[in-house]
Amino acid sequence: MAFIEIDEIDLTYRNSAGDEDDSGTLALQGASLTMERGDFISLVGPSGCGKSTLLKVVAGLIRANKGHVSVAGQTVDQPLKIVGMAFQNATLLPWRSTRENVLLPMEIVEPHRRQFRRDKSKYEAMADDLLATVGLEGFGDRAPWQLSGGMQQRAQLCRALVHEPDLLLLDEPFGALDAFTREELWDVLQTLYMKRACTVMLVTHDLREAVYLADKVYVMSARPGRVILERDIELERPRKLEHMYQRETVELVQELRHHINIARTDDE
């Protein structure tokens, strides 16, 4: 059995409870995808096609109306505990230091929760190690608002990973950053991935980012979203920016763009 199995799911958002004429928004229809443990996949598609919705279904935050989702052999019918998440606009809490922000999941997720108070200095050292891995050595005591946007995003990756989740769900985590910072963070994420060997689902609208990071890219149709194409990315790891200028890679990015354009215009 695959680590993640998404089998023919439909999902409708009911917009207003009690309104009988409201047929809602059909966000996903017949969406299927499977993933092996340790894979890194990217999910791309037209804006509004249901990418974030699909991640939320996998995380168990919302439930599909039809179809079946399982993670690590278990049917997903409640919020998963083995997951770490990071989003584009997720914020760090301004009244906590960067280190305390990174440690937030430890105060919530078992088995850490019980040990956290007793062993606080051990956990703090763990957070500082992780911060150092992403280039934030010595920044643990700073308030988040003292960090640049890129540094805050690095800290958020640490927060998503600190409890060593089996599954990392990333929803446009670098979307709000400038191109140079984003490319730097591709490497940060790649390094973390190669160290932790976790399973990663990355939603992004940046096709170069999708290709740079993933073993496989899935393209979704316009809403109602389903997977219409998958492409293996054969580049060896660690990936480097030069790879992105090789002819095969440029052509692959163009091919993906072409498919998304078709999906978008089919919708109109």
Whether 225 and 25 have beta carbons less than 8 Å apart is answered as no
Contact by Cβ (8 Å): 199, 4: yes
* Cβ pair 73, 1 in contact under 8 A: yes
Whether omega before 46 lies within 30 degrees of 0, making that bond cis, reads: no
Q: Is 91 in the site for ligand ADP (CB under 6 A)?
A: no
Half-sphere exposure of 43 (CA within 13 A, CB side): 31
Which position has the token pair 């763990």? 126
Q: Which does 47 bind (CB under 5 to 8 A by kind): ligand ADP, Mg ion, none?
A: ligand ADP
> Contact, 163 vs 116, CB < 8 A?
no
Find where tokens 């990174």 sit: 102
Using the rule CB under 6 A, is 13 a contact of ligand ADP? yes
Kindly determine how many residues on this chain lie close enough to bind ligand ADP according to the rule CB under 6 A: 13
CB closer to ligand ADP out of 51 and 182: 51
Cβ nearer to ligand ADP, comparing 52 with 190: 52
Our finding on whether 25 is near Mg ion (CB under 5 A) is no
Q: Binding segment for ligand ADP among 32-40, 42-50, 86-94, 259-267 (CB under 6 A)?
A: 42-50
As beta bridge partners, residue 25 has 13
Read off the tokens for 256: 């993906």
CB of 50 to ligand ADP, least distance (A): 4
Task: Tell me if 78 contacts ligand ADP by CB under 6 A.
Answer: no
Residues 234, 74 contacting (CB under 8 angstroms): no
Q: Binding residue for ligand ADP (CB under 6 A) from 23, 32, 47, 265?
A: 47
3-state secondary structure of 1: coil
25 contributes a contact to ligand ADP by CB under 6 A: yes
Q: Which does 223 bind (CB under 5 to 8 A by kind): ligand ADP, Mg ion, none?
A: ligand ADP
- Judged on CB neighbours under 10 Å (0-12, 13-18, 19+), 223 is buried
Amino acid of residue 69: V
Q: Judged by CB under 6 A, does residue 15 bind ligand ADP?
A: yes
Q: Does 146 bind ligand ADP (CB under 6 A)?
A: no
Provide the minimum distance between the beta carbon of 95 and Mg ion in the complex, in angstroms, as a whole number: 28
Is residue 52 within the footprint of ligand ADP (CB under 6 A)? yes
Report how far residue 214's alpha carbon sits from residue 168's, in angstroms, rounded to the nearest whole number: 13
Minimal distance, residue 65 CB to ligand ADP, in Å? 13
Q: Binding of Mg ion at residue 52 (CB under 5 A)?
A: yes
x/- map, 219-258, ligand ADP, by CB under 6 A:
----x-----------------------------------
Closest CA to 226 of 27, 20, 21: 27
Which residues contact ligand ADP by CB under 6 A? 13, 15, 25, 27, 45, 47-53, 223
